[in-house]
Structures are given as C-alpha cells and as structure tokens.
Amino acid sequence: MKIFEQWESNIRGYCRAFPTVFKTASNARQVDEDGKSYIDFFAGAGVLNFGHNNERMKRALIEYIESDGIAHSLDMYTSAKRDFISKFADTVLTPRGMNHKMQFMGPTGTNAVEAALKLARRVTGRQQVVAFSHGFHGMTLGSLACTANDYFRQAAGVPLDHVFRMPFESAPGGGLENLEEHERALADPSSGITPPAAYVLEVIQAEGGVNLASKKWLQRVQEIAHAHKALFIIDEIQVGCGRTGSYFSFDGMELDPDIVCLAKGIGGFGTPLAMNLIKPEHDEHWSPGEHTGTFRGQGFSFVSGKVALDYFDDDVLMKEVATKGDVMARSLNELAEKHADKGFRVRGRGMMQALDVVDGAAAKAMATACFENGLLIGPCGSGGRVLKLIPPLTIDDSDLEEGLAILKKAVNGVMEAA
C-alpha cells in the first residue's frame, strides 16, 4: 500500500477503513491481493445493488465492446441510449403513470442534485431551497449547501447560501407540527419567511443515519410545496433502484415529485450514470445545452443499466429483497435487545438496515472488528454512530448469514470490552 500513501492525495477516505488492496470481486464478495475474502455489506456505497461483476451485465458489456459499441457520445443519439430510455420508460415510468422526462448530466449523484436545483430556481424565479437536517445530497457547492453534515460543509471554503434548513421528521423539533408552523410562517407577510424554489429531501436519509420519513409527513411536505408553487424534489440516489423492496423508496406513498434524482445503482455494473426525472412542464424551461457535462450518458452504463432493469420485469428480486431485509432486521433487533440498556436502535426498510449504537467510537471499533474478520461495513449518521448494512440485493443467503454472524460477534465483542 506504500505506493498509494506516497502518491495519492490525503483526501482518500474509505481505504483507511478498509486497509488492504482488493484485486477481484464477485457478487457480494471482494478478495484482496493476499487471497483474503470479504463479504461486502457496503456495496460501493450503494452503487452495486446487483453485485460485483454481475454475470448478465458482464456478458452484455463484453458483447457491446467487442461489437465496437459507442462508449462515449456526449448527448448524441445512440442505440444503447435508445434501448435504455425505452426500457426505463416501459419498466419504471409507464406502470406508475409517470410521464417525466429523463435528463442525463454528469455521472454522479451530486451532478443530478445540482441540475435539479438549477432547474427549480429557473422554473420558480426564486433562489432559496428548503433542505432538511441530517440530509446528504452531494459534495459540489450547490448540493453541499443542501447537505447537513458540518464536516463536509467546512471543506467548502466559501459560504453555502440559499438554503433554509428544516428538521427532518425524526429529528429534534421535526414532525407534522413543525410543518404546520412553517406553513403558517409562509402565510404571514411579516414572518420574514418567503416561499422557496424547492423542497429537497430523501425518503430515507442514508448517510444521515438511515432515518425514515412517514407517508403522512412526506405528503404534507409535498402539499406545502405545491400550495406555494415550489418544486418537490426527491433524492433517490442511494435508496432507489430496488434497495427498499420496490424500484422507488416512495412507491405506494401517493407522492408526485416534480423531480426525482437518481444515480449510483442505475448504471447496474458499477459504471457511472446519473439521471433526473423531470415533469415535462418543468423540463420546458431548459434551453438546449444550457446544462451540460462531458460524461452525461456513458454508453457502457446504458448497456448494463438496461440489463439491471430486467430484474424488475417481475417481482422475483423484490420478494427476495423483502425476505433478506427481514433476516437482516431480525438479526439487528436481537443485538438491539441484548444491548437495550445502551440505547441501541434498529432502523431501515428492505435491504437498507441500520443499527444505531449511540457512540461513534464504538461504531468505528465494531466496523474495524468486522473488517478484520472478513466483513465490509461502514458507519454513518451523526458522529458515525450508526452501522449501515447495504449489501448487494443479489447476495447469497449463505453470505448474508455469515456476514450477520461476523457483525454480531464484532458488536458483542466491542461491548463486552467496554
């Protein structure tokens, strides 16, 4: 690892938590150069919903490359893009009665959020947006202004303006009563509060500690947004693409977002892709080429992303997600019950589950013990106090059980030593 320490920037982070050199990977396992195998409950921070080197996608990509398929095309028309757009519309949008336009921008989630913010401000003629405590929306300046984590915000070096912060439903001061107070302020011309361009939120705050919003609270935010002619933007970047047991985390909640931000898992194979779903009446406010980017719609990601959508042709995978999610939740609840005196809590939906161990130092020690015993898992939330489990949706049952056993041993070991 000396070559990395000598030449790579000090900014590197995940490698410090997983100090080894990985060489190969398959489905829910990574293998390092020494031949040690690790069960992956991290999955590229939610990118690898369909596992490492997914066989279906690998075959499709190899065939595409060998046939001299277009790898890079800016936003020109290609066969691969047409196939992806058609498949996404037929599989995701049409069955939900959604007629949203697909906008491809730079290849990461923060690019999707930046584009959504820019369009919301264009549509409404307003500057300020509402974002919520504990939310994470990206690291570039616009999305970082919406991100709540102070450690990330301090790196900006400039003021992060034009965002009004409200408490998320589960945060101190949050809930329906807070929303009612907010709307009363909007109606009061002497409150100093004016309608924003948009309300930006995650249905499940992944990096924020796996905090879940209720249907009723989300509907109320949407009602307020639309009543005041603001856009309602849902950031699905980590929790979408089947992670919660349906394609969108907001499925079944009777929500009608103006913009949906997607990235991470939609490329399928781990190749980068980001996309916003935009209501047509808002998309009309864009002028051609007004928001651009060199890598907006990479050919390989269209190919593998189309294959990923095949998993949603039926409900087989989503039933497996529900079953495996229940297994994960039961295992975590056993740990929480054992350490109830320490205030442990379990949160999650589908195959995004989390154990809040209250103490960030303890969570870090637990994650380190997991790594030493062959499990990759990452802390998140305030002070890093939450252990988040986001394995590939395709993980084998045996790997899932073994990973949960390693986690149980690590958590109990740290608590016994405390």
Query: pLDDT per residue over 173-210, tens digit each?
Result: 999 999 999 999 999 999 999 999 999 999 999 999 99
pLDDT at 418: 82
CATH number where 186 lies: 3.40.640.10
How many residues belong to the chain? Answer: 418
The verdict on 290 and 365 lying in the same domain is: no
DSSP3 helix / strand / coil % (the chain, rounded to 5)? 45, 15, 40
The residue type at 114? E
* pLDDT at residue 1 tops 90: no
Token readout for 150 is 């102070």
Would you tell me how many other CB atoms lie within 10 Å of the CB of residue 278?
Answer: 25
Q: What is the pLDDT confidence band of residue 311, given thresholds at 50, 70 and 90?
A: very high
Determine contact, residues 390/42, Cβ cutoff 8 Å: yes
- What does the pLDDT average to over 305-324? 98
The verdict on 75 and 146 lying in the same domain is: yes
CATH number where 43 lies: 3.90.1150.10
The verdict on 39 and 170 lying in the same domain is: no
* pLDDT at residue 297 tops 90: no
CB within 8 Å of 403: residues ≥ 6 apart = 28, 39, 41, 375, 391, 395
Determine contact, residues 410/369, Cβ cutoff 8 Å: yes
As for how many domains the chain has, the answer is 2
Distance CA(40)–CA(267), nearest Å, equals 19
pLDDT at 20: 97
- Taking only the tens place, the pLDDT of each residue in 140-181 is 999 999 999 999 999 999 999 999 999 999 999 999 999 999
How far apart, in Å, do the first and last CA atoms of the chain sit? 32
Beta strands (DSSP E) in 105-171 are 129-132, 163-166
The verdict on 225 and 188 lying in the same domain is: yes
Distance CA(245)–CA(40), nearest Å, equals 19
The verdict on 64 and 20 lying in the same domain is: no
- Examine the fold and report which residue of 310, 325, 360 is the final residue of a domain before the chain moves on: 310
The verdict on 389 and 271 lying in the same domain is: no
3-state secondary structure 237-306: CCCCCCCCCCCCCCCCCCCCCCEEEECHHHHCCCCCCCEEEECHHHHCCCCCCCCCCCCCCCHHHHHHHH
Determine contact, residues 409/373, Cβ cutoff 8 Å: yes
The verdict on 47 and 111 lying in the same domain is: no
- The angle at the Cα of 205, spanning 199 to 209, to the nearest 5 degrees, equals 145
pLDDT at 192: 94
Q: What is the pLDDT confidence band of residue 223, given thresholds at 50, 70 and 90?
A: very high
**Model confidence pTM above 0.95:** yes
The verdict on 148 and 259 lying in the same domain is: yes
Distance CA(168)–CA(203), nearest Å, equals 10
CB within 8 Å of 67: residues ≥ 6 apart = none
The verdict on 133 and 175 lying in the same domain is: yes
- The angle at the Cα of 174, spanning 169 to 175, to the nearest 5 degrees, equals 65
- Examine the fold and report which residue of 244, 276, 310 is the final residue of a domain before the chain moves on: 310
The residue type at 230? A
* pLDDT at residue 10 tops 90: yes
- Taking only the tens place, the pLDDT of each residue in 345-388 is 999 999 999 999 999 999 999 999 999 999 999 999 999 999 99
The verdict on 276 and 212 lying in the same domain is: yes
Determine contact, residues 177/103, Cβ cutoff 8 Å: no
The verdict on 304 and 393 lying in the same domain is: no
- Taking only the tens place, the pLDDT of each residue in 25-37 is 999 999 999 999 9
Please choose, from the candidates 231, 317, 321, the residue with its C-alpha nearest in 3D space to the C-alpha of residue 276: 231
Token readout for 47 is 């990118």
Determine contact, residues 201/233, Cβ cutoff 8 Å: yes
The verdict on 16 and 117 lying in the same domain is: no
Would you tell me how many other CB atoms lie within 10 Å of the CB of residue 18?
Answer: 18
Token readout for 385 is 């106090």
- The average confidence (pLDDT) of the chain is 97
- Examine the fold and report which residue of 260, 294, 310 is the final residue of a domain before the chain moves on: 310
Q: Which phi and psi angles does 402 have, rounded to 5°?
A: -65, -40
Domain of residue 327, residue span? 2-53+315-417
Please choose, from the candidates 392, 373, 61, the residue with its C-alpha nearest in 3D space to the C-alpha of residue 243: 392
